[in-house]
Structure 1
């Protein structure tokens, strides 16, 4: 007796995920509202103010030198090992892999590519904007400073703004940007802000960045998150195009064209269509098709209906008493 297999816990998990809606109704795409526009303008003004303060060697540059001479890694050496591991939360490779794994699971669960596409667009904007600012201003770090009190600009460096801080803001802030509920968005926003500021202060503690680098990196990442709604139409078009290509690849072709005996294309139908078509009637003007030469003309009977005939060359000995079937035997003496 065949019994059905008892579903395991993993089978129940996959069955529940298959019942998830393709696009949850409570998830809305952020729009470039007036409030967001005001925040974007304020963040951009703050970004330009920090750059201007560093260019004119203002009090911000003097604060950078004071923090550098304070040498935090010598003041609190007991937390140096923890900071070395904590600063990894701002490195682009490990953080992108972790966040992409989570967003990939969300994409598979909700049957949408928007989380992964939003992450890709944000990382692309991060590389373009922050990378251009780094190499454009060319500021040297504290370990490579040449003159005390100078802003160290246009000397071939690549630390202004802080890439660790900007990357932490974008990679962890994208989770808040894609949150499903307002409450989750608020909590994730606060968590990403604290994490990114902690990463920036860790670089100041180690001595690889100035304090102004961290402030500018934090604002640079915030600008990318605030500007993402402008790229939502591009993300939607890319998602629709990818799904259209997948549907085109998964759709089986109805027929294939093959060359006929005279070089003309002949459409070969699929097996159900060939079985469903009735045989074509033979025209009355044409003669009926003849049977093959190796078959005798006329109707053929089955093997069970034929009368048994003993072949002439049989090796079986002849018996006079044996009679064919259906005849009466002679009277034995």
Structure 2
């Protein structure tokens, strides 16, 4: 039978969920380190190299046509139904709703708007950069190609780079970017990489994108993830202004702002003591407590054999004031002396 001192694992879980959510004292905000700057520069150079290879109709365009003529959806038709659903992991609407739901719960639990503001900022950057590249280069897809061997650029298309791939890299990679521990960040980075890789290859299988579209989509999503630390000061200022507006609205509406409580360490069990009604509390005798003295909790003695006579002297914190006496009378003592 579990007692108050020995809480089960389920009790600790519910105690943590019942705890008042608090803003963490130290948020792990990534900074634009030298390592990240090097990765951003290398990815940007790779992005420009892919664009140049397609514009000049190099070997990469010939590889696009070879993969298109291979028609993977005809080579492996048994996985076509599954990949039709799997490619949804790269669509902006469903993935944004799923990730925003999780980050919204984290924002509420931590009393911070940073997760939601980071997601909104990344999606805004994705729409601007990828959308501008799509309509600026105007490449047609494999199903609408006109001349065999051409790069199909400047013909009014909107598939270069692949939006599905870039969105998969960014949307699932933002979970790794906002992870609170290094272990979670590594696992989520690997998961987002595998997911985005699968989404990109699925679009090539279905024939909706060239292979070079997918490669450029990976680079486009990674560029935004690597550049997010530059946006952190803007996100922090936006969060401060939004919270100030919320406090002003509460003040005008007559609502009291929540008072932050103590931040408990993770794993600390919270024990709720039952309240005793005032009618059940025993009234203290009049004059028993002096002015300014706090009431003491009654001490419950362990039941045991009690003597009929008051033979025991009062016990003080320093011990008994009565000298110790032998339990039995010494030998040779008369019965009168014993009595």
Tell me: CA distance 1:105–1:214, structure 2 relative to 1, closer, same or farther (3 Å).
Answer: same
Contact kept? 2:130, 2:161, Cα under 8 Å = yes
Give the aligned partner of residue 162 of structure 2: 162
| Whole-Å separation in 1 of the counterparts to 2:18 and 2:57 | 57
- Secondary structure in structure 1 of the residue aligned to 2:28: coil
Superposed structure 1 runs of 4+ greater than 2 Å apart: 12-21
Aligned mates of 1:32, 1:134 — CA distance in 2 = 28
Cα distance in 2 for partners of 1:126, 1:163 equals 9
Q: Which residue of 2 is the match for residue 138 of structure 1?
A: 138
Identify the residue that residue 23 of structure 1 maps to in structure 2. 24
Per-residue Cα deviation, 1:6-49 (whole angstroms, up to 9, x for no partner): xxx99x84873544431253x41111110000000000000000
8 A Cα contact 1:165 1:199, kept in partner: yes
Q: Residues 21 and 108 of structure 2 are in contact (CA less than 8 Å); yes or no, is this contact kept in structure 1?
A: no
State the match for 1:44 in structure 2.
Answer: 44
Count of residue correspondences? 244
Give the structure 2 partner of residue 188 of structure 1.
188
Give 1:95's aligned residue.
95
Partner of 2:127: 127
TM-score (norm. length: structure 1): 0.71
Q: Which residue of 2 aligns with 1:249?
A: 249
- In structure 2, do the counterparts of structure 1 residues 250 and 215 end up closer, same or farther at CA, with 3 Å as the change threshold? same
- The aligned counterpart of 2:110 is 110
Unaligned runs of 5+ in 1: 1-8, 255-333
Residue 62 of structure 2 is matched in structure 1 by 62
Inter-partner Cα distance in structure 2 for 1:252 and 1:157: 52
Instruction: State the TM-score, normalized to the length of structure 2.
Output: 0.70
Across the aligned residues of Structure 1 and Structure 2, the Cα RMSD in angstroms comes to 1.7
- Cα contact 2:40–2:226 (8 A) shared by 1: yes
* Partner secondary structure for residue 230 of structure 1: helix
Match for residue 310 of structure 1? none
Superimposed CA distance per residue, residues 260-280 of structure 1 (whole angstroms, 9 cap, x where no aligned partner): xxxxxxxxxxxxxxxxxxxxx
Partner Cα distance (2:116, 2:140) in 1: 35
Long gaps (5+) in structure 2 = 1-9, 255-339
**In structure 2, what is the Cα distance between the partners aligned to 1:23 and 1:68?**
51
Distance verdict in 2 for CA 1:173–1:17, change over 3 Å: farther
Rg: which structure is higher? Answer: 1
C-alpha contact 2:142 2:207 (8 A) present in aligned 1: yes
Contact 1:24 1:110 in 2 (8 A): no
